[in-house]
Structure 1
Amino acid sequence: MRKRSITLKGHRTSIALEAEFWDALDAMAATDNRTLPALIDSIDRNRLKQSPPPGLASAIRVYILKRLKAS
C-alpha cells in the first residue's frame, strides 16, 4: 500500500492504494490530459451520488476496473 495526500474540496485527504492502482490512475489522468487531483475529484463527486457512498479508495479501484473493462 502506498499513501498519497491530495486536496479535495479545499481539504487535504490521504488515500491508500496499492502501487499498481496508483500507476493505472496516473496513466488514466495523463490519457485524459488532466491532473491526478482533477481525476480523483471527479471520482469522488460520482461516488457521493451513491447511497450509501463507498469509501474513496474503493470507488477509485472500481473506477479503474470499469475503465479497463471498457477499453
Structure 2
Amino acid sequence: MSDDKLRKRSLVIAGHRTSISLEDDFWDALREMAGDRGLSLPALVVEVDSARGGANLSSALRVAILRHYREKLISPAQPI
C-alpha cells in the first residue's frame, strides 16, 4: 500500500478545469476501474460527476470505487 498522502490532479470536466484530491491508492483504483469499464480516466470522472448530485467530487469518486470493487466481489468476471 502506498502512503496516505493526498495527490491533487487537474482534469477538464464539462469544459472547465477542476482539481481532484485523492490518495494514491484511490488514483490507482480509479485508473483500474476506468480500464475495466473501457473508459478513459477523464470520461469516468465525468460520469461520476454527472451522477453525484450535491456530493463532493472526491467523495463521490471514492464511493464509486468502493461500489465498483464490491460489484467485482459479488459477480467476478467470467473467464474467456
- Tell me the TM-score normalised to structure 1 length: 0.90
Equivalent position amino acid for 2:71 in 1: A
Q: Which 4+ runs in 1 deviate beyond 4 A? A: none
**RMSD across aligned C-alpha pairs, in angstroms?**
0.7
Equivalent position amino acid for 2:63 in 1: V
Equivalent position amino acid for 1:20 in 2: D
The answer to whether 1:12 aligns with 2:17 is yes
The alignment-based identity, stated in percent, is 48
Alignment partners' CA distance in 2, 1:68 and 1:31: 11
Unaligned runs of 5+ in 1: none
Deviation per residue, 1:1-48 (Å, 9 max, x gap): 101100011000000000000000001111212110000000000002
- Tell me the TM-score normalised to structure 2 length: 0.80
Question: Rg: which structure is higher?
Answer: 2
The answer to whether 1:60 aligns with 2:61 is yes
